[in-house]
């Protein structure tokens, strides 16, 4: 059996019942064989960033997984498909978007997966929820750098 790796996954949705879709995806990730849900952030609402459409509901989860990074990505893409995800064009509105932010200390650059996520430190909708599940990863200057991006915690 493979050794467990800690992975961080960003969730976002802005079509349909985005809030419920993100909550369901969080729960579903804990049921992926080889994955254990360790922590979940609160939900955030953010305006589309370099995209169009309704506001997004965002969150980040911390997982322990024995899956390889490509297998984890495949499992996450299956959850996106089950939620009705269509990839009609880059940054299109979506029913569910799941991004692998970090996979242990791995550095991966393949045609299908780049880890650490190349733009995660530029996005408030990633940094704020990531700071909840892994505070040591997000520094005050990281949050200051994205302070002009509108984001609101949902209760």
Catalytic residue, chosen from 85, 123, 145, 153, is: 85
Q: How far apart are CA 96 and CA 57, in angstroms?
A: 10
Catalytic residue, chosen from 42, 99, 123, 148, is: 99
- Residues 11, 60: contact at Cβ < 8 Å? yes
Catalytic residue, chosen from 94, 119, 123, 148, is: 94
Catalytic: 97? yes
Catalytic residue, chosen from 19, 97, 123, 142, is: 97
- Provide the Cα torsion 101, 107, 109, 115; round to 10°: 0
Catalytic: 99? yes
Active-site annotation, residues: 85, 94, 97, 99
């Amino acid at each position: 059996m493979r050794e467990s790796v800690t992975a961080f996954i960003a969730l976002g949705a802005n079509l349909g019942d985005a809030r419920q879709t993100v909550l369901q995806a969080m729960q579903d990730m804990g049921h992926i064989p080889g994955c254990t849900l360790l922590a979940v952030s609160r939900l955030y609402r953010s305006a589309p960033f370099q995209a169009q459409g309704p506001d997004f509901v965002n969150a980040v989860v911390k997982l322990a997984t024995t899956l390889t990074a490509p297998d984890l990505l495949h499992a996450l893409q299956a959850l996106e498909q089950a939620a009705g995800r269509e990839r009609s064009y880059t940054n299109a509105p979506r029913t569910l978007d799941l991004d692998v932010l970090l996979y242990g200390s791995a550095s991966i650059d393949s045609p299908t997966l780049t880890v650490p996520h190349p733009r995660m430190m530029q996005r408030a909708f990633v940094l704020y929820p990531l700071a909840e599940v892994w505070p040591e990863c997000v520094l005050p200057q990281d949050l200051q750098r994205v302070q002009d991006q509108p984001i609101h915690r949902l209760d």
